[in-house]
Amino acid sequence: MLSAFVALGTLAGIAFSFALLFLPTVVAKSRRHPNLFPIFLVNLLFGWTFLGWLIALVWACTRPAAPVFSMSVYPTILAPPHRPAVANSAAAILLPPSPYRRWR
């Protein structure tokens, strides 16, 4: 009867060890990490070393960076409104209004 308890304890210990070993993979799956398969591979191949397990766990806990879309480096200059090709008066041809300074 005692050997049955020892066998059950051994199986429970092995199951707990595997659960602890694959904890980084479980964390990555629960967080829906986009690099789940590479984290699983690192965990499977190097997880038996403490350093490999720690790297996989830190990688699983990190949040992926948001994608960066291209942004213009220079400020945008607004063009003045389009003027018709034919002006209504000579004053409109000689002195077009400036968008940068105000006449008094």
Residue 25 lies in a domain: yes
Residue range 89-101, pLDDT digits in tens: 555 556 666 666 6
**Residue 53's domain spans which residues?**
2-61
**pTM recorded for the entire structure:** 0.58
Residue range 6-44, pLDDT digits in tens: 999 999 999 999 999 999 999 999 999 999 999 999 999
**Residue 103, C-beta contacts closer than 8 angstroms, at least 6 positions apart:** 97
Residue 90 lies in a domain: no
Distances (CA, A) of 14 to 7, 65, 69: 11, 36, 47
What gap in Å lies between CA 91 and CA 66, rounded to an integer?
54
Residue 68 lies in a domain: no
Residue range 52-103, pLDDT digits in tens: 999 999 999 998 877 777 766 666 667 676 666 665 555 555 666 666 665 5
**Residue 64 confidence (pLDDT):** 80
Residue 104 lies in a domain: no
